[in-house]
Every structure is written in structure tokens, then in C-alpha cells.
Structure 1
Amino acid sequence: MSTALVTGGSRGIGRAVAVRFAQAGYDVAFCYSKDEKGARETADLIRAAGKEPLVYRADVSDEKSVREMMESVFSLEILVNNAGVALYKEIAETTLEEWKDLFSVNVEGAFLCTRYAAEKMKKRGGGSIVNVASVWGETGGSCEAAYSASKAALIGFTKAAAKELAPCGIRVNCVSAGIVHTDMNAHLNRDELEDFLSQIPVKRMGTCEEIAESVLFLAQSRYITGEILRVNGGLLV
């Protein structure tokens, strides 16, 4: 049996990733922080795909919470570091506490999960880690300095971890997602959304399912590591 663990699986990209891995035949575990209703809905979708999920309420920024979750996941082959939070504010309005809170989830959460997952993967002879970043981590997003910086850090972490863990049989890759139809983009008004779409060559937002397909591809590709796969409709080429 091979298990895929997805963080932030109660909605959006995380939910789509968890369901896609179940459809591909993996045993699936996922965690969520607050959205219990969403977690139940994800679990039902995984069951509909023929798998019984392991569901954890875990704060990825808390080491004790991550350690306890990892200790109870068996046959871990794939980790998807998807849990993340966004912040749409000008730099002058962003508090240090908000900056730290965002980094604690988006960066420290990925670090903690990778640290504990890698130890389990080493014992089983290898595995795959896929981090979910953003195009803003590559280009920077206006009024999203904290979010952009955290995703840039995640991209750098991906490259470093890939080099370090490759000799252990562990591959580490990253999906750099473009503008995707999720709750994170709910702050955009009609004019802002149309402006964004005008900059995308394919003239539409991406879907969570398209990101999930890319995550599965990287997880299963045996000769790819340290890669930043851009899934952005041509927004950045």
C-alpha cells in the first residue's frame, strides 16, 4: 500500500489533489485546520472514488501537531504540501504579526511536514514531495508582498530539499500555480478579475483539478526532481 498525505485538504486545490490521488489508486490521508464541514465533504468525495480516507485536524505550523499526524500515517510515499493562507494588503498596512503568521503556515508548515515525512520515506526507501507554490512567488504580486515572499521561500526550499534528499531516493518538486478559481481569489472584484484575465494568454482562470493533475504528474515522475512546474495559462513563460 502507498499513502499520499495532502495538507490543507478541506477545500480548493487540496481537496482536488486528495480526490485525484484516490482516483489514481492511492490510499489518501489529508489534514485540515478549521473547516470541519469542508473536511467531511472531501472525505465523502474520496470515498466515492473508492478509498477510505484518514482525516486529521492538524495545524501544520505546530510541530507537535505535525509530529503526531506523521506518526500515525503508514506507508507514506507522497507528501503534498498544499496548506496555505493568503493576505491581500499593502506593505504599509501589513503588521509584523500578520507577516509571521503567514510564513508560519506557508513556509514553516512545509518545512515541518517535509522534515517528518522525509524520515519515514527514508526508512521505506524513497518517496515524493510536491509543494504547491504560486506564480507570485516568481514574479511578486502587488499588495501581496507577504504571500509572494512566502511562496518564493517555498520555491527556494523545494530546490534545496531536492538536492539534499535525492541521494535518499526522495524527489522534491513544486507546482507554481497561476490564477486559480479558489476562495483565495474571492477578494477580486469584477474589474480586477477581468484585468487579470486579460493578462493570461488562454483568457481564463485555472481549475483546481488542473493543478491536481500536475501534482500527480510530478509525484509519479521518477526522473524529475527540483523542478518548478508552471501551471499558469501562459501568464509567466
Structure 2
Amino acid sequence: MNQISTDASSMNQLAPVMLVTGSAKRIGAAIIRAAHSQGYRVIIHCHHSEHEANALADTLNHSRPNSATIIIADLAIVNNDADLRQLVTNILAAFGQLDVLVHNASRFYPTPFGYINHAQWDELFLSNAKAPLLLSQALMPYLKAQRGCIISLLDIHADNKPFSGYTVYNMAKAAHRMMVQSLALEMAPYVRVNGVAPGVNILPESDSDQALDLVQQQNIVNSIPMQRVGTPDNIAHSVLYLAQANYVTGEIISVDGGRSLTLAGHNC
């Protein structure tokens, strides 16, 4: 039993490490669970969802000890150089290395034209463009040391099909999309950079200000060639593929059931 335990511990210490921002719930948590099931050690980042992050880490550590940890941080920390350096120190202290960085954290809400304000601009661009860029830059030396990769969660609306009523969000995600392509050049050949563009892979929570009624939900299903809403696991599968596809960089995979083939920008 001691030999088996020692071997398992040694294998765990050699396992690659993945950090997923905004990963206590929903799509981020699905990516964490899928990566962990494939042998990764995982860093769960959250800001407000500390309870959910701890519960997820506890579950994963129960199945494989010392394989999951959490980092709590407001991504606005990238606005302060000293605080950002401390965040990087905390990330590296978790397991001593970083192999995969997944930019999942994102704010999403409408900004009707005529009522757009500075606070909306700052918040949406922070989470969807500025934080991913500056966090990538700060972690570049460690990703380079591991010949690692960056994977960004984007949006099918960020590529010439804007979401009506969401101008600032559309612009921020389009900037993030260009970041993926730019960094694929800047960080080659040592670090690969790719993206996953979801369609409707999860519906808004029923108690949120983005909740959809049954008619809206059916309209969405009718607009998808596959005639069903996707799942967070569909996204996680594509993220893991990109994490392991060592000759793929600068690519963005749409995971949308074919919806982007027929989509014009609209509200639902």
C-alpha cells in the first residue's frame, strides 16, 4: 500500500497544471472537472464564489489528494503592477509551475446604445480583454518554461455577427479574439494560444437579470441546426483538445451546434 501511495503521489507531482479563471461554477467548473479527470492538477480561480470554489476543490482533492487548489482575486488586480505580481506569486506557489492558462472569467450584460456609460465600458473591457492580456503577459515566463498554452473563451458574436443591444460586450470580445491571434504570433514558438467560441452552451440562471422565458428558450433552440442547447462539457472537451494539440496555434473553434452558420445579430 505504501508503494502504491508513493507512486500515485509522484505521478501527481509530475502532472501538468491548469489555471482557469472564473471556474467555481458553470463552464469554468466543467473545464476544471474535465481537466482533473484527465490527470491535471487544477487551480480554481474565483472572486465572489468562494463557497462553490472550495466545494469543488474539496471534491477533487477527495478523489486525488493535493490536486486542486483555489485562488481568490478580483481581476481588476491587473490595474496595479504590485498586486498583479503578488497574484502571479500566489499562482506559482500552488504547484510550482503552470502549463495551461484558460481565460474563462467574463462579464456579460446589455449596453443599449444611447445609454452606454464609462462604468460599463471599464467593466466589460476589463474582464473580456484587459485582464486576459495582462495576465497572459505576467504569466508568460512560466508558460514558456513549460512549453505551455493559453486558451481563451470567446463568443461566436465576436466575429462579424454582433449581438444586438450588447455593443460594448461585442467590442470587448472582438478585442479578446484579436488578442488570441496576436499572441499566437508574439508567443510562438514556445507558447501556443487558441480560443473556443461558444454559441448557446448554457442558459442564463433563472434568477438572473438575463433569465429567458420558455418562448425565448424555444426560439434559441429553433435557431440551432443541431436543434438543442449545448452543454458546458462540450466546451470543456474542446479546451482539453486545444491543451493537447501541440501543432495548433492561433485557431478559434466554434462550439455552437452550427448556429453561427445561420445567425444574424439579434437578442435571442
Q: Per the shorter chain, which TM-score range?
A: over 0.9
1:117 alignment counterpart: 139
State the distance in 1 between where 2:204 and 2:85 align: 28
Letter in 1 for 2:30: A
Determine the C-alpha separation between the residues in 1 that align with 2:220 and 2:156. 13
1:17 and 2:41 aligned: no
Which of 187, 208, 213 is 1:189 aligned to? 213
Q: 1:69 to 1:49 in 2, by over 3 A?
A: farther
How many residue pairs end up in the alignment?
235
Q: What are the Cα deviations for residues 170-224 of structure 1, in whole angstroms up to 9, with x where unaligned?
A: 0000000111214478422222222222110011111111101110100110000
Q: Does 1:27 align with 2:49?
A: no
Q: Distance in 1 between matches of 2:111 and 2:217?
A: 17
Cα distance per residue 1:110-145 (max 9 Å; x no partner): 0122111212122x2511100001111121111122
Q: Secondary structure at the match of 2:250?
A: coil
Match of 1:180 in 2: 201
Unaligned 5+ runs, structure 2 = 1-13, 262-268
- Structure 1, gaps ≥5 residues long: none
C-alpha distance in 2, partners of 1:182/1:110?
A: 24
Answer yes or no: is the 8 Å Cα contact 2:20–2:28 preserved in 1.
Answer: yes
Q: CA RMSD in A?
A: 1.7
- For 2:224, which of 200, 203, 217 is the aligned residue? 200
1:142 counterpart letter in structure 2? S
In terms of Rg, which structure is larger?
A: 2
Give 1:62's aligned residue. 77
1:71 paired residue number: 89
The equivalent residue for 1:85 is 107
Tell me by how many angstroms 1:48 deviates.
Answer: 4.8
Q: Is the 8 A contact 1:130 1:218 kept in 2?
A: yes
CA distance in 1, matches of 2:85, 2:238: 28
Are the equivalent residues in 2 in contact too, given 1:9–1:42 (CA < 8 A)? Answer: no
> Which residue does the alignment assign to 1:97?
119
Pairing 1:134–2:155 present:
yes
| Of 37, 42, 47, the match for 2:51 | 37
Give me the TM-score of the superposition, normalised by structure 1: 0.93
CA pair 109-229 structure 1, distance change in 2 beyond 3 A: same
User: Which of 59, 64, 68 lines up with 1:53 in the alignment?
Assistant: 68
For the 8 Å contact 1:61–1:108, the answer to whether it is kept is no
CA gap 1:69/1:12 in 2 versus in 1, 3 angstroms:
same
The code of the aligned residue for 1:198 comes to N
In the alignment, the residues of structure 2 paired with residue 48 and residue 208 of structure 1 have an alpha-carbon distance, to the nearest angstrom, of 23
Which deviates more from structure 2 when the two are superposed, residues 97-106 or residues 76-85? 97-106
The equivalent of 1:229 in structure 2 is: 253
Higher mean C-alpha deviation, range 181-190 or range 151-160:
181-190
Question: Helix, strand or coil for the counterpart of 1:166?
Answer: coil
How far is the alpha carbon of 1:61 from its aligned partner? Answer: 2.6
| Runs of 4 or more consecutive aligned structure 1 residues displaced over 4 Å after TM superposition | none
Q: Residues 7 and 30 of structure 1 are in contact (CA less than 8 Å); yes or no, is this contact kept in structure 2?
A: yes
Write out per-residue CA displacement over residues 10-66 of structure 1, whole angstroms, 9 at most, x where no aligned residue: 111111111111111011112101112221232134235525312010122312444
